[in-house]
């Protein structure tokens, strides 16, 4: 089944749509799917032109395609556990929160909290991701716990904050403090960043560009060779953050 | 008439020992207050009546009319924002929260532009703090980090720290060591025993280095961290570890510099580390006299200290998303009620521009920068002068602000209750 | 005049000696009466179990540290959120719900009176503000005196009467209900990052011992003729081997009051540990129960823990620090000048943790080994042992050894080597539960005299009707039904008004705050005591005049007045 949701013009286009209901399992039956526009609950057809093609008997056979002015639509794919979502343009905050399986492809940019507290599955953003990509929730000790999150462009600050397990791969640059409070999993940054991995207690962060303002509380621990994009790279290895328990590994490209 | 033990409703110190003389419904003298207090009590020029924007000018309207119009604006909105609250008493804040819930709006207080990052840090690692009297009576080491109390909280040092004699500290000035950390010299740094002059944006690294030293991992600290020498970092760590009771106070210099809440988190974790060696506490230097009260009131009603979004009928909190500055920057909200604060003066320009584009109602005694963005302003009594109510000091101690005389203005609570009643009535029908 | 008639109720009202009779209850203007007028609205209880409204004699629901527990825990807030519904407002929170959340959840469980376990006098105004926002329960506040400088000076001077005068002044100033000692002496030592480790340890500088503080305060309490006894959280909470401290504390209690205990020991589960480290911690519930069984002058509450996530919060600052060193999760601390301390950390009690399993067993053992249910009240030290919404599960565990056996197979198998629980086959009955959840509390708090905890004529019409038919149920076998039944009343009636029905709150609440006022002779009035006033102004950071809680904070305040024997 292919569900296409094309946005309608709205009187107040800046008001975000809260759309945690847009997940494959909700389109199996002809459910009354509703979303919020600000404080007003709306029917899905008030916000989108909806086309449904083909049948599906299980959520993994459902593919949702979002097109149009989708940059302020929040929570798409939250708690998704099967199927596929394709966003033709940009997507709003919290896309793929808590998702446990399935696939989300974003052709444009993603707003903050992409894949927050993700448990499994795959998110691939072909543009840039804003802040807190692959991060946790306020006050919660564990952030992303599984799955793969890939951003082909750049990501903002606090990428993979509280990363616990799973993989975050930013092909471009990251902002400030990627991997901060990290405790497990693997964070890969293809480009540059500042102050990586402050206060990390576990996990591995690999940086193939420059790590600016590198914190003084990481202990040099030899060198390692790592393969990245088919090339062998010589990496300076560090253990830290010794301001904390210091059981994490940071690898920064040397050559 | 002279009134003693008056509570000063200016800054988070909430001094309650002022002596104020009142004649003919006017304050005519203030004793014991700092310059900021004198300014607050003595230069009190109020807006006379509610005003509505009328072309390029203003038109006087009645309170009833202003209340009716405010209720209509809020009812019409799909994403209303209720912002401010730090300059009014808790009872009014409470009505504000119920109003926000009723209309499915966002309610936020001035923490969003001051100690919001401190709250976010506390939510990650907790807050080892104490009341200010604990510091006054016991502390032999005081640290001010990114704070300049002489300027922003003029009586903080004399009432609670540097100059305040206490039970176990009989000669405060002699028996207390003062450490100041800042990116520039200030009046406060001038009287410090140790001044850590930190490169701009270097607080996080300096705090990490101190934590490593306290953990016994100082060997890897390079000769300079963020402009501070290794020797000085070791010296400061030593002073802290040898203290009998240490107290860190931090200000906007730490919350608003790069890394924001992660700086505060680092400072809190340093404090926690120091507690393995001695007693140490840490406290934010809250700005507005009742900003902490707004955090408290919001929390017991909604569960969160600021930035609460009721749009989906439940309380949702996520700074960066539900905070006023972010909502205004993205141009999300379509109506705004400003109570007891001045976003026109403190918010980025793009936010102010959005406020000017949408219907903005301000409830405030005085004409201020926000007036120029507002469509409607309703003047009210000033808590601590002609209105009374609960305030929470920066350390959480609740104190009742006094009413010094009965004036002609309604207070915030009364106005808000009337708006609430109208909205509720409209929702019912 | 508003009348209400509850017909056909299966009533257990221990204070009135009713052990299960089908009867009608007549209500007029919020009180139980002999008969209603004709035409009164009728509720048919249909033979369902009917108790006086529930009373929690030790819970943390309002005030500075509770609110800080919310403030620092957005992850807990999102774990228990509900939307606005009817008269019910939005609520948040699982282990530390918002005030309305607490109030609704208690109300749907049939609770109509709750005592806040710890109020720091300096921050009392805050507690009272939250009481007003907890509208479906009448509220009382234990007032902290454990590290009170003036009290410790009086103890040092062996001046019981002065201690009594300080208590009287403070309770009046802060509208407190009773004396609470949390780790007496320990919270002052914590001002220097230290603690006391037995009842004979000296408090730094003040040179007094916890034992001296406890003995003085018990006598001062009785001099003031306060409704409740001294309410103590013993030293060494949570420390392996601490049962000895608890026995030492029990030994300090004289028998001074004919109507109730002279010392109330709270959350005793946390104080009944043998062993010397976390590795060899064991249950000493039998020793504690033996001591309680032989001393009518003490009463306790269980302090049961239940498995899952919760938040610990107490005035016992040094204990929370120790807990933080174990868990390395977030830690908050808040010392209160001249008075007390407090701390908060989140915890997770796991079935896979042997220590947690031992703790879980100890609480149940206390309730099963203490012969007289009037001496052992059901509580979790909410939310420290578990959020109070777990009470129905605890009731089911106490009523069904079969349920205990099922739990046994789910917990760490080593547990049985450290605890006697699985050798105890006692099963409590409906009457025992009625005692342990309301009647014993009313008696222990001394509020049966104002019509709480019973349904005799003239009593407050606070009534809980549970969807449970004692004649048709075997609680030992039907423990699931017992659990479900105690979780949601069919009706909760507060002061003659139906406030909750089938799990939903149906009206806006209007509660009272109950406090104690002991009248002392003028020579014991501290407002006139120059030395007291001078020290107050010198060392507090709030002026003495701005310290007392104004009447406006108690819109429906009610005080129990006593005449001090000074």
Per-residue pLDDT of chain B (429 residues; tens, 9 = 90+): 999 999 999 999 999 999 999 999 999 999 999 999 999 999 888 999 999 999 989 999 999 999 999 999 999 999 999 999 999 999 999 999 999 999 999 999 999 999 999 999 999 999 999 999 999 999 999 999 999 999 999 999 999 999 999 999 989 889 999 999 999 999 999 999 999 999 999 999 999 999 999 999 999 999 999 999 999 999 999 999 999 999 999 999 999 999 999 999 999 999 999 999 999 999 999 999 999 999 999 999 999 999 999 999 999 999 999 999 999 999 999 999 999 999 999 999 999 999 999 999 999 999 999 999 999 999 999 999 999 999 999 999 999 999 999 999 999 999 999 999 999 999 988
Mutation for C interface: A18, A139, A183, most C CBs within 10 A: A139
Domain total for chain C?
A: 1
Does the residue C496 lie in any domain?
A: no
Does the residue C218 lie in any domain?
A: yes
- Residues A91 and A193 reside in one and the same domain: no
Name every residue in A having a CB less than 8 A away from some CB of C. 137-141
**CATH number of the domain residue C360 falls in:** 3.20.20.140
Residues B311, A18: C-beta atoms closer than 8 Å = yes
Q: How far is CA A31 from CA A22, A23, A25, C125, in A?
A: 11, 12, 10, 50
Among A22-31, C164-173, C181-190, name the one with the lowest average pLDDT: A22-31
Does the residue C296 lie in any domain?
A: yes
Residue of C nearest to B313 (CA): C83
Give the rounded percent of residues in chain B with a pLDDT score beyond 70.
100
Residues of chain C neighbouring B317 (CB-CB closer than 8 A) = 74, 77-78
Mean pLDDT of all residues belonging to chain C: 97
Residues of chain C neighbouring A139 (CB-CB closer than 8 A) = 72-76, 330
Q: How far is B426 from chain A (nearest CA, A)?
A: 16
Q: Which of C70, C191, C336 sits opposite B299 (nearest CB)?
A: C70
Residues B127, C333: C-beta atoms closer than 8 Å = yes
Residues B334, A15: C-beta atoms closer than 8 Å = yes
Instruction: Return the pLDDT at B58.
Output: 97
Determine the Cα–Cα distance for residues C370 and C436; give it in Å rounded to an integer.
Answer: 12
Would you say residue C1 has pLDDT above 70? no
Does the residue C468 lie in any domain?
A: no
| Interface B-C: count of C-beta contacts within 8 A | 180
- Residues A150 and A63 reside in one and the same domain: no
Give the confidence band of C169 by pLDDT, cuts at 50, 70, 90. very high
Q: What is the dihedral of CA B197, B200, B201, B204, to 10 degrees?
A: 0
> Quick check: A90 contacting B, CB < 8 Å?
no
Instruction: Output the CA torsion sign for B11, B14, B15, B17.
Output: positive
- Tell me whether the CATH fold assigned to B46-114+289-428 matches the one assigned to B116-284: no
Residues of chain A neighbouring C74 (CB-CB closer than 8 A) = 137-140
Would you say residue C449 has pLDDT above 80? yes
Residue of C nearest to A140 (CA): C75
Does the residue A247 lie in any domain?
A: yes
Does the residue A69 lie in any domain?
A: yes
Q: Which of B207, B311, B331 sits opposite A14 (nearest CB)?
A: B331
Would you say residue C72 has pLDDT above 90? yes
The pLDDT tens digits of the residues spanning C293-306 come to: 999 999 999 999 99
Choose the CATH number for B116-284 among 3.30.465.10, 3.40.50.720, 3.30.450.20, 3.40.228.10.
3.40.228.10
Would you say residue C16 has pLDDT above 80? yes
Choose the CATH number for B46-114+289-428 among 3.30.1490.270, 3.40.190.10, 3.40.50.620, 3.40.50.740.
3.40.50.740
Determine the Cα–Cα distance for residues C439 and B196; give it in Å rounded to an integer.
Answer: 62
Determine the Cα–Cα distance for residues B211 and A243; give it in Å rounded to an integer.
Answer: 5
Determine the Cα–Cα distance for residues B48 and B67; give it in Å rounded to an integer.
Answer: 16
Q: How far is CA B311 from CA B105, B132, C235, in A?
A: 6, 38, 47
Give the rounded percent of residues in chain C with a pLDDT score beyond 70.
100
The pLDDT tens digits of the residues spanning C21-32 come to: 999 999 999 999
Q: Give the chains touching A; criterion: ≥3 Cβ pairs < 8 Å.
A: B, C
Give the rounded percent of residues in chain A with a pLDDT score beyond 70.
100
Residues of chain C neighbouring A164 (CB-CB closer than 8 A) = none
The pLDDT tens digits of the residues spanning C428-446 come to: 999 999 999 999 999 999 9
pTM: 0.98
Would you say residue C41 has pLDDT above 90? yes
Domain parsing of chain B, residue ranges? 46-114+289-428, 116-284
Please work out, in degrees rounded to the nearest 5, the angle formed at the alpha carbon of residue C465 by the alpha carbons of C460 and C469. Answer: 145
Q: How far is A139 from chain B (nearest CA, A)?
A: 5
Does the residue C560 lie in any domain?
A: no
Residues of chain C neighbouring B131 (CB-CB closer than 8 A) = 122, 334-337, 541
Would you say residue C284 has pLDDT above 80? yes
Q: Which of B124, B225, B330 sits opposite A216 (nearest CB)?
A: B225
> Quick check: B295 contacting C, CB < 8 Å?
yes
Instruction: Return the pLDDT at B429.
Output: 83
Q: How far is CA C449 from CA B309, C456, C561, in A?
A: 46, 11, 12
> Quick check: B75 contacting A, CB < 8 Å?
no
Region A107-128 average pLDDT: 98
Give the rounded percent of residues in chain A with a pLDDT score beyond 90.
98
Domain that includes residue C195, residue range? 53-453
> Quick check: C170 contacting B, CB < 8 Å?
no
| Cα-Cα end-to-end distance for chain C | 43
Q: How many CB atoms lie within 10 A of CB A220?
A: 11
Instruction: Return the pLDDT at C437.
Output: 98
Give the rounded percent of residues in chain C with a pLDDT score beyond 90.
99
Region A172-196 average pLDDT: 98
Residues of chain A neighbouring B217 (CB-CB closer than 8 A) = 217, 242, 246
Give the confidence band of C101 by pLDDT, cuts at 50, 70, 90. very high
| Interface A-B: count of C-beta contacts within 8 A | 108
Does the residue A130 lie in any domain?
A: no
Secondary structure class of C214 (helix, strand, coil):
helix
Residues of chain A neighbouring B104 (CB-CB closer than 8 A) = 38-39
- Residues A103 and A148 reside in one and the same domain: no
> Quick check: A48 contacting B, CB < 8 Å?
no
Instruction: Return the pLDDT at C2.
Output: 86
Q: Which of C64, C98, C334 sits opposite B301 (nearest CB)?
A: C98
Does the residue C388 lie in any domain?
A: yes
Does the residue C548 lie in any domain?
A: no
Residues of chain A neighbouring C73 (CB-CB closer than 8 A) = 139
Region C550-564 average pLDDT: 97
> Quick check: C92 contacting A, CB < 8 Å?
no
Residues of chain B neighbouring C79 (CB-CB closer than 8 A) = none
Give the confidence band of C112 by pLDDT, cuts at 50, 70, 90. very high
Q: Which of B212, B259, B331 sits opposite A217 (nearest CB)?
A: B212
Domain that includes residue A188, residue range? 139-255
Domain total for chain A?
A: 2
Alpha helices, DSSP H only, in C28-87? Answer: 64-71, 74-77
Q: How far is A209 from chain B (nearest CA, A)?
A: 21
- Residues A79 and A189 reside in one and the same domain: no
Residues A141, C73: C-beta atoms closer than 8 Å = no
Q: How far is A200 from chain C (nearest CA, A)?
A: 14
Residues B98, C89: C-beta atoms closer than 8 Å = yes
Among A27-31, B366-370, C195-199, name the one with the lowest average pLDDT: A27-31
Residues B311, A217: C-beta atoms closer than 8 Å = no
* Residues 6+ positions from B122 with CB-CB distance below 8 Å: B264, B268, C71, C72, C332
Q: Which of residues 217-276 of B touch C (CB under 8 A)?
A: 244-245, 272, 275
Q: Which of residues 80-109 of B touch C (CB under 8 A)?
A: 90, 94, 98, 101
Residues A39, B310: C-beta atoms closer than 8 Å = yes
Residues A137, C329: C-beta atoms closer than 8 Å = no
> Quick check: C556 contacting B, CB < 8 Å?
no
Would you say residue C292 has pLDDT above 70? yes
Region C412-421 average pLDDT: 96
- Residues A154 and A235 reside in one and the same domain: yes
Does the residue C195 lie in any domain?
A: yes
ipTM of the complex: 0.97
């Amino acid at each position: 089944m292919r569900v296409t949701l094309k946005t309608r013009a709205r009187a107040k286009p800046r008001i975000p749509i809260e759309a945690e209901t847009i997940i494959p399992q909700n389109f199996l039956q002809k459910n009354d799917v509703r979303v919020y526009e600000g404080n007003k609950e709306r029917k899905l057809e008030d916000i989108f032109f909806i086309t449904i093609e083909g049948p599906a008997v299980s959520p993994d056979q459902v593919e949702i395609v979002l097109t149009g002015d989708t940059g302020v639509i929040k929570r798409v794919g939250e708690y998704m556990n099967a199927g596929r979502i394709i966003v033709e343009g940009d997507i709003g905050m919290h896309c793929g929160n808590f998702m446990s399986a399935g696939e989300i492809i974003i052709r444009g940019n993603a707003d903050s909290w992409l894949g927050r507290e993700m448990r499994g599955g795959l998110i691939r953003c072909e543009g840039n991701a804003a802040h807190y990509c692959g991060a946790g929730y306020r006050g919660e000790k564990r952030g992303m716990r599984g799955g793969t999150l890939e951003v082909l462009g750049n990501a903002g600050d606090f990428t993979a904050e509280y990363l616990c397990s799973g993989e975050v791969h930013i092909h471009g640059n990251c902002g400030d403090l990627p991997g901060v409070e990290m405790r497990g999993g693997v964070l890969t940054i293809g480009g540059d960043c500042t102050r990586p991995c402050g206060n990390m207690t576990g996990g591995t962060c690999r940086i193939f560009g420059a790590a600016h303002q590198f914190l003084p509380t990481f202990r040099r621990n030899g060198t390692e060779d790592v393969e990245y994009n088919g090339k062998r790279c010589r990496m300076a290895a560090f253990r830290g953050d010794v301001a904390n328990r210091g059981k994490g590994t940071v690898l920064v490209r040397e050559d | 008439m002279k009134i003693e033990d008056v509570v000063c409703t200016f800054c988070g110190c909430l001094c309650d020992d002022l002596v104020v003389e009142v004649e003919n419904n006017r304050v005519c003298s203030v004793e014991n207050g700092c310059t900021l207090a004198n300014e607050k009590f003595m230069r009190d020029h109020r807006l006379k009546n509610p005003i509505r924007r009328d072309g390029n000018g203003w038109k006087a309207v009645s309170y009833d009319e202003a209340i009716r119009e405010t209720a209509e604006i809020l009812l019409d909105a799909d994403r209303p924002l209720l912002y401010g609250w730090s300059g009014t008493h808790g009872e009014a804040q409470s009505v504000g929260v119920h109003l926000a819930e009723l209309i499915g709006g966002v309610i936020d207080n001035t923490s969003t532009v001051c100690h919001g990052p401190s709250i976010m840090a506390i939510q990650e690692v907790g807050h080892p703090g104490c009341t200010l009297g604990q510091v006054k009576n016991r502390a032999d080491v005081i640290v001010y980090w990114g704070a300049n109390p002489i300027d922003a909280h003029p009586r903080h040092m004399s009432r609670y720290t540097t100059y305040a004699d206490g039970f176990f500290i009989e000669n405060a000035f002699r028996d207390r060591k003062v450490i100041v950390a800042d990116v520039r010299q200030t009046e406060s740094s001038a009287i410090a025993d140790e001044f850590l002059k930190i490169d701009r944006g270097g607080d996080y690294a300096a705090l990490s280095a101190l934590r490593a030293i306290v953990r016994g991992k100082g060997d890897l600290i390079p000769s300079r961290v963020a402009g501070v020498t290794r020797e000085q970092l070791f010296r400061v760590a030593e002073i802290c570890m040898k203290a009998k009771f240490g107290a860190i106070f931090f200000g906007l210099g730490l919350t608003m510099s790069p890394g924001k809440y992660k700086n505060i988190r680092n400072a809190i974790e340093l404090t926690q580390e120091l507690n393995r060696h001695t007693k140490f506490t840490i406290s934010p230097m809250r700005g507005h006299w009742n900003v902490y009260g707004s955090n408290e009131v919001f929390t017991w009603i909604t569960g969160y200290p600021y930035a609460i979004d009721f749009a989906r009928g439940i309380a949702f909190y996520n700074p960066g998303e539900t905070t006023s500055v972010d909502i205004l920057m993205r141009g999300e909200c379509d109506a705004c009620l400003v109570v007891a604060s001045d976003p026109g003066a403190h918010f980025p320009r793009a936010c102010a521009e959005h406020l000017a584009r949408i219907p903005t109602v301000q409830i405030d005694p005085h004409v201020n920068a926000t007036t120029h963005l507002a469509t409607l302003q309703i003047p009210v009594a000033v808590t601590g002068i002609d209105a009374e109510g609960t305030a929470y000091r920066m350390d959480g101690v609740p104190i009742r602000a006094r009413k010094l005389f009965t004036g002609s203005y309604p207070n915030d609570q009364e106005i808000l209750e009337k708006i609430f009643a109208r909205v509720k009535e409209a929702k019912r029908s | 005049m508003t009348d209400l008639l509850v017909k056909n109720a299966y009533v257990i009202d221990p204070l009135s000696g009713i052990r299960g009779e089908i009867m009608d209850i007549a209500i007029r203007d919020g009180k139980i009466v002999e008969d209603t007028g004709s035409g009164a609205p009728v509720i048919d209880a249909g033979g369902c179990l009917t108790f006086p409204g529930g009373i929690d004699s030790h819970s943390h629901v309002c005030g500075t540290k509770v609110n800080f527990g919310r403030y620092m825990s957005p992850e807990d807030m999102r774990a228990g959120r509900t939307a606005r519904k009817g008269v019910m407002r939005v609520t948040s929170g699982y282990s530390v719900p918002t005030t309305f959340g607490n109030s609704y959840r208690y109300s749907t469980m049939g609770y109509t009176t709750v005592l806040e376990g710890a109020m720091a006098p300096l921050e009392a105004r805050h507690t009272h503000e939250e009481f007003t926002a907890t509208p479906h329960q009448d509220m009382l506040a234990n007032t902290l005196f454990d590290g009170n400088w003036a009290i410790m000076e009086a103890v040092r001077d062996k001046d019981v009467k002065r201690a009594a005068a300080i208590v009287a002044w403070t309770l009046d100033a802060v509208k407190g209900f009773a004396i609470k000692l949390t780790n007496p002496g320990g919270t002052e030592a914590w001002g220097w990052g230290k603690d006391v480790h037995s009842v004979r340890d000296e408090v730094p500088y003040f040179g007094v011992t916890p034992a001296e503080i406890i003995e003085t305060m018990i006598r001062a309490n009785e001099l003031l003729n306060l409704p409740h006894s001294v309410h103590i959280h013993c030293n060494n909470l949570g420390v392996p081997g601490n049962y000895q401290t608890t026995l030492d504390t029990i030994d300090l209690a004289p028998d001074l009051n004919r109507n109730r205990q002279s010392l109330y020991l709270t959350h005793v589960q946390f104080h009944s540990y043998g062993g010397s480290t976390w590795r060899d911690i064991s249950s000493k519930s039998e020793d504690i129960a033996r001591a309680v069984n032989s001393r009518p002058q003490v009463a306790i509450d269980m302090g049961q823990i239940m498995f899952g996530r919760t938040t610990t919060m107490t005035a016992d600052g040094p204990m929370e620090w120790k807990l933080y060193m174990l868990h390395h999760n977030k830690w908050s601390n808040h010392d209160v000048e001249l008075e007390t301390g407090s701390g908060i950390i989140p915890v997770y009690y796991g079935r896979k943790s042997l220590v947690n399993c031992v703790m879980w067993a100890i609480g149940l053992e206390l309730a099963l080994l203490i012969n007289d249910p009037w001496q052992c009240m059901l509580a979790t030290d909410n939310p420290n042992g578990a959020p109070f919404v777990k009470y129905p599960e605890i009731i089911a565990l106490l009523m069904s050894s079969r349920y205990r056996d099922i739990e046994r197979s789910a917990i760490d198998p080593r547990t049985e080597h450290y605890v006697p629980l699985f050798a105890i086959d006692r099963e409590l009955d409906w009457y025992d539960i009625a005692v342990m959840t309301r009647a014993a509390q009313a008696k222990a708090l001394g509020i049966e005299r104002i019509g709480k905890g019973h349904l005799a004529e003239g009593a407050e019409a606070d009534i809980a009707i549970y969807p449970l038919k004692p004649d048709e149920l075997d609680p030992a076998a039907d423990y699931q039904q017992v659990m479900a039944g105690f979780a949601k009343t069919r009706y909760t009636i507060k002061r003659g008004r139906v406030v909750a029905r089938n799990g939903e709150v149906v009206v806006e609440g209007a509660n009272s705050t109950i406090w104690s006022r002991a009248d002392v002779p003028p020579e014991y009035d501290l407002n006139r005591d120059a030395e007291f006033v001078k020290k107050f102004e010198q060392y507090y950071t709030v002026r003495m005049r701005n310290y007392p809680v104004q009447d406006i904070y108690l819109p429906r305040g009610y005080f129990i007045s006593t005449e001090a024997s000074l």
